[in-house]
Structure 1
Amino acid sequence: MSANLPWLHDAKQQFAAQRRQGTLAHAMLLPLPEADGGVLLGQFMAALALCSSLVADVPCGHCKSCQLVNAGSHPDFHLLQADGNQIKVEQVRSLCQSLTNTAQQGAFG
């Protein structure tokens, strides 16, 4: 998640501004290929949204939520990636089932 990809800077800043203003959308689609940093941008956005620190435009890396995200075990972070060239119905069903649970860490919700 720490890759410095300059073409993602504006998107990261816009997302951070939305977080500061309390205007985050309930969902976002990122039509950016993985090779162009799409997954990294999504992971950054999720980590920042889940971060307990509200003073920075980047995840603090120290709070419990950041530690869980960095360990890949945050119960409120769900990554859905295409299986080949498409997202399969079973992937969406599985995600929907896990989303019926309430937030575990009490982050933005």
Structure 2
Amino acid sequence: MTEVKQDMKTAPFEERETIISYDRQTETWHIYTDEPKHARKYEKYITHPQRKGYSPSGQLIMLEGDIDKGTVSISKKVRLTEKQKEKQRKVLQKARISHRVNLQTEKTGIN
């Protein structure tokens, strides 16, 4: 059963934490977080949450539960150079233009 707390106050920025632990015997990851960004990120992976907390506006701000038979991975943030960023912008712009052309073609029925 999930314990749900409504109208919780968000923890102060410097006190927020995310704890992820692994139980080898049950192959289960346990997650506790009072960092709203992490709570939203992991919510969809937790099958049976133990606790959830919501802000007065209804936003999920705290989560505790298990990820059964899942995997958790952590990676470094990718830092792009200005040259790489410019290349990415051009690729994205080209894809957007191509997408618009495809939408126009579908609307008009022209092949």
> Does TM, normalized by the shorter one, top 0.5?
no
Q: Which protein has the bigger strand share?
A: 2
- TM-score normalized by structure 1? 0.25
- TM-score normalized by structure 2? 0.25
Q: Which of structures 1 and 2 has the larger relative contact order (alpha carbons within 8 angstroms, sep 6+)?
A: 2
Q: Which protein has the bigger helix share?
A: 1
Max Rg structure: 2
